[in-house]
């Protein structure tokens, strides 16, 4: 019984590690509309270097969240799309977006990104 609990905790921790990253969440969010190439993802996300994006894509592929497909015509063209597991994560993203819309004050939205989490926590406590 104790071992089952430990395994469940481990799975939850691994899921949180996977989803607890801004770039990862943005990848899932942008792929919700369909298949995108690496360069399209990079442009959509904005401030992310190619090494970081490649690493996150590999992690998501290994976790079964997305599929990588090489184009048959142009071998250098690679596209990514969400699997059913990845699509199952979309409600989580919607909840995060709803949380942000409800609890983030105008002051939190204007705060620099490093201070944003502290400002949001402060806003939540004030309510």
pLDDT tens profile 6-60:
777 777 777 777 777 889 999 999 999 999 999 999 999 998 999 999 999 999 9
Give the separation between CA 53 and CA 109, rounded to whole angstroms: 25
- Taking all residues of the chain, what is their mean pLDDT, rounded to a whole number? 80
DSSP state of 37: E
Residue 56 class from Cβ within 10 Å (0-12 exposed, 13-18 middle, 19+ buried)?
A: buried
Same domain (yes/no): 79, 23: yes
Are both 62 and 15 inside the same structural domain?
yes
In this predicted structure, the answer to whether residue 123 has a pLDDT above a threshold of 50 is no
Asked whether residue 54 falls in the same domain as residue 93, the answer is no
What local confidence, expressed as pLDDT, does residue 62 receive? 93
| Same-domain status, 55 and 71 | yes
Q: Per-residue pLDDT averaged across 95-119, rounded?
A: 67
Whether residue 39 is found in the same domain as residue 98:
no
Residue 80 has a pLDDT of 96
Q: Coil, helix or strand for 63?
A: coil
Closest CA to 95 of 25, 10, 4: 25
Q: How many domains does the chain have?
A: 2
Average pLDDT over every residue of 105-125: 52
Length of the chain: 127
**Which CATH number fits the domain that encloses residue 50?**
1.10.10.10
Helix (H) or strand (E) holding 68: strand 66-70
Contacts of 41 (CB under 8 A, 6+ apart): 27, 30, 31, 53, 57, 80
Q: By three-state DSSP, how is residue 90 classified? A: helix
In a shared domain, residues 113 and 79: no
Sign of CA dihedral 102, 89, 26, 9: positive
35 and 4 within one domain: yes
Structural domain range at position 35: 1-86
pLDDT, average across residues 54-68: 94
Confidence of residue 86 (pLDDT cuts 50, 70, 90): very high
pLDDT at 66: 95
pLDDT grade for 124, boundaries at 50, 70 and 90: very low
Asked if 113 and 81 sit in the same domain, the reply is: no
Task: Determine the pLDDT at residue 32.
Answer: 95
């Amino acid at each position: 019984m104790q071992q089952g609990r430990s395994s469940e905790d481990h799975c939850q921790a691994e899921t949180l590690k996977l989803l607890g990253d801004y770039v990862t969440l943005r990848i899932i969010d942008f792929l919700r509309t369909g298949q995108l190439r690496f360069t399209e993802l990079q442009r959509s996300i904005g401030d992310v270097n190619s090494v970081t994006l490649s690493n996150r894509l590999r992690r998501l592929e290994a976790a079964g969240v997305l599929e990588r497909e090489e184009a048959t015509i142009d071998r250098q063209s690679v596209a990514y799309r969400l699997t059913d597991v990845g699509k199952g994560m979309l409600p989580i993203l919607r909840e995060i977006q709803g949380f942000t819309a409800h609890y983030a004050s105008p002051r939190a939205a204007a705060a620099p990104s490093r201070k944003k989490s502290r400002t949001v926590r402060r806003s939540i406590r004030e309510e």
